[in-house]
Amino acid sequence: MVVDQSDVPLGQAEEHQAQSEPLQIPYEHGCVIVREHANTFRVRHQRFPGRHWETNDLNTARMICDELNCE
């Protein structure tokens, strides 16, 4: 049995899930893939702090990280 523990009242559970933190996936050499929504991935890199790249596919996000690490 899986139990999800939360301090949010039952009526506000859907709102809590909508406001939850995005999933961050660390990648190689300073690249981070952030999963914003079900099909939205944002790529950020330490070399380019003010920029980001968005895609709807995890494999494409990984390819972007690989390309940024080659520069």
Q: What is the pLDDT of residues 8-66, one digit of tens each?
A: 455 554 554 555 678 898 988 899 999 988 789 999 999 988 899 999 999 999 999 99
Gap between the Cα atoms of 43 and 41, Å rounded: 7
Question: In this structure, which amino acid lies at residue 50?
Answer: G
The reported pLDDT for the residue numbered 52 is 93
Gap between the Cα atoms of 66 and 39, Å rounded: 20
